[in-house]
Amino acid sequence: MRASITTPALAALVPGLIAAALAAPAGRWTAAAPMPEARTEVAVAALDGRIYVVGAWAPMPTARHGLGAAAVGGRIFVISGGPRPGGSCSSANEVFQPGEAGR
């Protein structure tokens, strides 16, 4: 199964972005294709053979950085994070459910 990276907030699928890394021998780091945009302070979650990248000011209902993400029950929960760099925090808890737009 090939994995790909998706940015849910942008619904942008980048096929095969980590395919080279998945084929790497165990116990060894291998360079893979770079992400389409440089990002920092992102959260990731794996769901159905895909890696979803969220945060870093991508269009989301609540823009924030330093957040956490977890895939549970076919959905991706994006929790907490801060609206401003430098120690801010929030109680935001949003859910993304992949559909055809995210595939």
Question: Six-digit token pair at 44?
Answer: 């990731």
pLDDT at position 29 is 77
Mean pLDDT of all residues in 26-53: 82
Question: Six-digit token pair at 38?
Answer: 């440089």
Average pLDDT, the chain: 74
Residue 23 reports pLDDT greater than 50: yes
Question: Six-digit token pair at 102?
Answer: 């995210």
Rounded Cα distance between 8 and 54, Å, is 7
Residue 22 sits at the vertex; the CA angle it makes with 18 and 27, to the nearest 5 degrees, is 125
User: Is the Cα dihedral 75, 51, 16, 25 positive or negative?
Assistant: negative
Rounded Cα distance between 23 and 80, Å, is 34
**pTM for this entry:** 0.67
Q: What percent of the chain has pLDDT over 70?
A: 69
Residue 66 reports pLDDT greater than 80: yes
